[in-house]
Structure 1
């Protein structure tokens, strides 16, 4: 009598791709670099061919999406800003060195960097605030940055310092390729395609918080504002840190006066100065700080 365990009715009828990938060892005759014997999905040279671009783009869409879904990440706040903004302690040390060298142009640049370093601290504090205060929400909020230095590092660092997870969406560049040390490892992604990286910034975001920055920051800011302005993306808060910086950089009123944008488009964003100010804006918009009886099943009775 056969006493072996009965076969599982739901067992796979075919081996998985992973099993075949590990099992498929080519005979020595077909193990050379020019052999076409390798499975297509394990053949890196094949996957990197020009004709396979649509497949690579699909992979960059799917990998971060699937990982975040598996980890239960539904809502994010995006922090944009310059990679060049230094931590205050670093800026202070460079200013001291410049003054010691008695180099006037170097001192001017170091003084400017010292003034801008305040935004590193605010980004760090804001990320910590978001991470701590959203823990008790039904859907926690995760900070997401571009994963590099400067403001991006400050955002990931703020979340890390309060024992929270945060996301980094790195891009392969001739410089700034190394992700900062504060991103949660299982949420540190690398992209080749800018367009797909920017799509992932927006897909789960409930707000965009933009610190001073250069071309890259402006690109990310205006693409998001355009998506909202044109109705291609749902409306969400856009907070610009540092009114003085933004109003000197961009004359928004001139765009209205010349008919380039509508007066109502100025409502797409708000200026904030501190981490607490930014959180208050978000709390007001989403009702984060409202008592449960005002937001839960008894809200209609109030």
Structure 2
């Protein structure tokens, strides 16, 4: 389109599909900025670059896990003591899941996560750790034989769901609750189907379930049928049986 008479043509720059004019024109070329090692580094902190890093994390995570096979994600507190009953239960759950034909996925940290990874390793199975970059975390535990570290929580959480056929949730804190309620929301809204969720530890989870029933549901904020989205047990064999049955995989798989 021609400029109006007497109006000078604006300085114009095209960078791929992007058009820049006037004070939005950038100096140099894309190749020059890529190859010039003395150029500015502020671009590392821009949103377009963050999008590329996010994309790269998805690619790395999907690439590492795409051939994993049937798996169950096990959640629980990083603060679970190694000499506790909860830790022992985590080890037994990890073993039982491997014996039922599953790989075990955890957040790769200490405590309950380490316990489930330890059980998976001791049973000769695949023990996956999906770590997260945090200032107070110390890396993946020693029982992980396939590990991926993430910068972004939402990429990590996608992998927890995408590559698992269900969740077993041991007693845990805010991170565990975050994963639990995201999974419940995904099942409730039909974003994922055939996805069993088992809460392990009646004494620990009963107060939360009472609140869901007596406050959330009683106040009309959820349906009574939402209580059917998960199971509660203290028995390792029952937990594994529930997750195995609903995930459509049993010990006699072919």
Between the two proteins, the alignment pairs up a number of residues equal to 217
Give the structure-2-normalised TM-score: 0.79
Q: Conserved in 2, the CA contact under 8 Å of 1:82 and 1:151? A: yes
Partner of residue 146 from structure 1, selected from 104, 107, 110: 107
Q: Conserved in 2, the CA contact under 8 Å of 1:168 and 1:188? A: yes
Give the structure-1-normalised TM-score: 0.67
Tell me, what secondary structure is at the counterpart of 2:109? coil
Runs of 4+ residues deviating >4 angstroms = 286-292
Give the deviation of 1:36 after TM superposition: 5.1
- Distance in 2 (CA, whole Å) between partners of 1:123 and 1:183 is 14
Give the deviation of 1:153 after TM superposition: 0.4
Residue 137 of structure 2 corresponds to which residue in structure 1? 176
Q: Conserved in 2, the CA contact under 8 Å of 1:47 and 1:56? A: no
- Distance in 2 (CA, whole Å) between partners of 1:203 and 1:289 is 20
Could you say if the C-alpha distance between residues 128 and 48 of structure 1 is closer, same or farther in structure 2, counting changes exceeding 3 Å? Answer: farther
Q: Tell me how large the CA RMSD over aligned residues is.
A: 2.2
- Distance in 2 (CA, whole Å) between partners of 1:203 and 1:240 is 20
Could you say if the C-alpha distance between residues 180 and 237 of structure 1 is closer, same or farther in structure 2, counting changes exceeding 3 Å? Answer: same
Q: Conserved in 2, the CA contact under 8 Å of 1:171 and 1:177? A: no
Residue 285 of structure 1 corresponds to which residue in structure 2? 246
Give the deviation of 1:118 after TM superposition: 1.0
Q: Conserved in 2, the CA contact under 8 Å of 1:202 and 1:224? A: yes
Partner of residue 122 from structure 1, selected from 89, 111, 118: 89
Unmatched segments (≥5 aa) in structure 1: 1-34, 89-116, 135-140, 297-302
Residue-by-residue CA offset, 1:80-100 (whole Å, 9 max, x unaligned): 110000111xxxxxxxxxxxx
- Distance in 2 (CA, whole Å) between partners of 1:258 and 1:180 is 42
Tell me, what secondary structure is at the counterpart of 1:278? helix
Unmatched segments (≥5 aa) in structure 2: 1-32
